Amino acid sequence: MKALSQKRRHPLAAIALLLMGLLVTGGLYAVAGTVNEAQATTTTYSAQDIEEGEKLFVSNCATCHGLGAVGAPEGAHGNQAGPSLIGVGAAAVDFQVGTGRMPMQMTGPQAQQKPKQFNDEQTMQLAAYVASLGAGPAIPEEQYLDASEGDPAAGGELFRVNCAMCHNAAAAGGALTRGKFAPALAGVSEKHIYEAMVTGPQNMPVFSDANISPEGKQDIVAFLKTIEEQGSPGGNSLGSLGPVSEGLLIWTAGLGVIIAFTIWLTQRSS
């Protein structure tokens, strides 16, 4: 006991204890990361799908993203630099290509949505190729895309806490910094909504299963589809900005009436 007490007072004891704590913490973090990575493993694709996807990638994507999807330096081939796609997963490809954002039509602060260039099979093949390069978020399972099985009330709460500051409480979208924007979510498919949450396109943060569970994401999808179906029963939504836009409209219309009435009175007196 005396020897143990003397070792405890050793000047290196505190450093040894700190290192031990860091090792334990790092080990627990690695285990947690492995669990999350296992949840985000790519879907199994056939060798033919991967081969066809590589051909499509080389022909349509490698100019910006580089051969092997390792990324290209800025200004290569006269185009905007494309980031590395190693580890982005199949879900990122399915979202970007499936919504027409990729390939980009023009350079700019944000990829614009447009009619998609590839059909569903080609999109799947591109996703298969990129998924084969490194583990990443997979295309979500159908069981989590059924909005009728979600809880819109719980999804609305999650949406207001995590998404409304950018997308607006009514999912009408909103402006961001440096020319970017959060798009409106009406008309977006359940799969693409889910994929956006797990991949974080543009300025959007990534909501992993540790942040929002798959069931929580399903609830958010259910909420968005519910408000989309309800529409705007009260008339013109005025951008769904609530009392701000309504008050501005009333003030503008009211001042216009007052000015017009004032002009009419002065003309009568003359």
The annotation places the binding site at 61, 64-65, 163, 166-167
137 vs 122: CA distance, rounded Å = 19
* 107 φ/ψ sector (left φ>0, alpha ψ -120 to 50, else beta): beta
CA 44 → CA 84, 135, 145, 230, distances in Å? 22, 11, 20, 38
Question: Among residues 152, 134, 55, 137, which one has the least CA distance to residue 92?
Answer: 137
Q: In this structure, which amino acid lies at residue 260?
A: A
DSSP class of 42: P
Token code pair at residue 243 = 């009392």
Contacts of 130 (CB under 8 A, 6+ apart): 53, 57, 69, 85, 88, 89, 90, 92, 93
Lookup: tokens for 81: 């630099």
Cα distances (Å, whole numbers) of residue 212 to 48, 163, 168, 197: 34, 12, 19, 9
Give the Cα separation of 102 and 122 in Å (integer): 13
Closest CA to 85 of 96, 76, 75: 96
Biggest alpha carbon–alpha carbon distance for the chain: 110
Could you list the residues known to form a binding site for heme c, using ranges.
Answer: 61, 64-65, 163, 166-167
Q: Which helix (H) or strand (E) holds 62?
A: helix 62-65
CA nearest to 151, candidates 205, 241, 206, 213: 213
